Amino acid sequence: MDRIQLDYTNLMASVIGDEHGISEAEFEALAGPAAKALAAVRARRDEDLRWLALPYAEDVLEEILRYSARVAGRFENVVVLGIGGSALGNTALHTALNSPYHNEHPPGGLPRLYVLDNVDPDLLGEWIEHFDVSKTLFNVISKSGGTAETMSQFLIFRDLLVEKLGPEGHREHIVVTTDVEQGILREIVGREGYESFVVPDGVGGRFSVLSPVGLLPSALVGIDARQLLSGAQDMDQRCETSLLTENPAMTYAVLQWLMQSSCSKPVAVTFSYSDRCKNLGDWYAQLLAESIGKRHDRKGAEVFAGPTPVRAVGVTDQHSQVQLYVEGPFDKWFTLLAVEACDHVVPIPMGYPELEGTSYLGGRKLADLFAAERDGTRIALTEAGRPNCTLTFPRVDAHSVGQYLFLMELAVAVMGELYSVDAFDQPGVEAGKVAAYALMGRAGYESRRAEIEQASQSAPRTV
Ligand code: PA5
């Protein structure tokens, strides 16, 4: 099997019980609405949902590969400056597809990768103390080209580069990924002549991982960007059918919708039984939360919709979260990420054949224990009436990760239709951005600042 596979047996009422599971009738009743939802999403492919076409953007891939080949061997570090959809995919891809020790032991002249997706002075300050900007390529990524966090990072690192390499020499250390014409970052590209890539129209931040946003840093650190796209194409083609039981994206969207609407499970846990896939859970958390978490539905009615995404890692969280998952409130459903074949075979030595407490481990492989723990958790959840499904990756490679990314993007778009919310805007995020601009004294935001100051007059209660 080189396709990822979704097993949702343990979400069904026949297995998990009527109170917490989905009945056949409920599932079947969604076949029509889900097909309609898929058609509505796909109809926008050439209009405002251009991310649907990203897996086929061969010319963009070629451009990225040419640039990567040109700069190969020139930098010790690649630093992504970006946040949200401009960062999470990169962290997820790097964790999934490079060695966990890549940065300590970069293979064959490849650069290290750092994704600095925060403006905590201790994060940036430490990086600046430990690394040499003159050996670093900075990929500044911002769809809007004006996000305060990313722009402040850019200003900081540009200044350091200019100080060290001069106004001319610093330029080859910056490559920008942003909108083709909008935003201050694009204006700066024009002024400075930086190399740049485009986040196409119709590709929002959290749907941009298969654009240059995710492909460029990937190619720079040795990830097979072509295979990522090939996996996404495979999933796209698998999801062409409007038959619910054969379309993984429709199925996953319907399961999410039913889990929340009829089974009262507002919390969606992605439980990765793969250390390498753990940050796919973070990437998905943003995709789900920003897309479906909405105050208003499409007609403008207040709905306060949205599941709460949670991310857990097996086996680590068996010794942290699983107690709650098995015995706590019945407010969660689980997607286990499983991997059929790990890259490494690590035998467990016998050590002490006479000691029963360790001899059952000796002679087995670490993968056997990992699988037993995963299956043990699945059994414990199921027996406790906790609905769970499993997404199995044949291996963690660029092809399967590409499948996963596209599957989840399409599923979330279909969810938007089922929840009847706009899955592609983020007014809640914008509200925070505007408040931050006002507090930083940005021109044009004076009245918002006055409102905030007025509202913060109540007596503080601190202890
Ligand atoms: O998904 C989104 O649109 C957001 O999370 C953005 O990615 C995030 O706010 C960063 O925005 P930008 O890429 O415009 O800097």
204 lines ligand 1 (CB under 6 A): yes
- Evaluate: CB of 290 within 6 angstroms of ligand 1: yes
Instruction: With residue 460 as reference, give the H or E element that holds it.
Output: none
Mutation probe of ligand 1 site: the residue of 144, 209, 294, 433 with most atoms within 8 A of C-beta: 144
Ligand 1: does its nearest atom lie under 6 Å from the Cβ of 186?
no
Q: 50-223: same fold as 5-43+230-419?
A: yes
Instruction: Indicate left, alpha or beta for 130 from its phi (over 0: left) and psi (-120 to 50: alpha).
Output: alpha
Probe residue for ligand 1, chosen from 51, 147, 184, 199 as the CB with the greatest number of ligand atoms within 8 Å = 147
Using CA atoms, how far residue 302 sits from 48, 312, 416, 420, in Å, is: 25, 31, 15, 12
Helices (H), 322-397: 322-327, 356-359, 366-383
Phi, psi of 311 (to 5 degrees): -125, 135
How buried is 315 (Cβ within 10 angstroms: 0-12 exposed, 13-18 middle, 19+ buried)?
middle
Atom of ligand 1 nearest to the CA of 183: 14
Q: In ligand 1, which atom is closest to the CA atom of 204?
A: 3
Closest ligand 1 atom, residue 433 Cα:
9
- Residue 312 β-bridge partners: 271
Q: Which of 312, 370, 311, 327 is nearest to 345 (CA)?
A: 370
Cβ atoms of 281 and 270 within 8 Å: the answer is yes
CATH code given to domain 5-43+230-419: 3.40.50.10490
What is the fold, at CATH topology level, of the domain defined by 50-223? Rossmann fold (3.40.50)
Catalytic residues, by residue number, are 290, 319, 433
Structure tokens at 11: 């979400």
Domain boundaries, given as residue ranges, for the chain? 5-43+230-419, 50-223
Burial 138-159 (b: 16+ CB within 10 A, else e): bbbbbbbbbbebbbebbebbbe
The pTM (predicted TM-score) of the whole model is 0.95
The residue assigned the tokens 């993984």 is 248
Give the DSSP letter string of 294-338.
EEE-TTS-EEEE--EEEEEETTGGGGTTHHHHHHS-S-EEEEEEE
Paired with 294 in beta bridges are: 305
Say how many C-beta atoms besides its own lie within 10 A of residue 293's C-beta.
Answer: 18
SS3 75: coil
Whether ligand 1 lies within 6 angstroms of the CB of 147 is answered as yes
- How far apart are the CA of 86 and the centre of ligand 1, in A? 6
Looking at the DSSP assignment, which residues form a beta bridge with residue 269?
310, 334
Per-residue model confidence as pLDDT tens for the chain (463 residues) = 599 999 999 999 999 999 999 999 999 999 999 999 999 999 999 899 999 999 999 999 999 999 999 999 999 999 999 999 999 999 999 999 999 999 999 998 899 999 999 999 999 999 999 999 999 999 999 999 999 999 999 999 999 999 999 999 999 999 999 999 999 999 999 999 999 999 999 999 999 999 999 999 999 999 999 999 999 999 999 999 999 999 999 999 999 999 999 999 999 999 999 999 999 999 999 999 999 999 999 999 999 999 999 999 999 998 999 999 999 999 999 999 999 999 999 999 999 999 999 999 999 999 999 999 999 999 999 999 999 999 999 999 999 999 999 999 999 999 999 999 999 998 888 888 888 888 888 888 888 888 888 887 777 788 8
Token pair 């010790």 is at which residue? 76
**Strand order across the 5-7 sheet:** 5-7, 388-393, 332-339, 267-272, 308-313
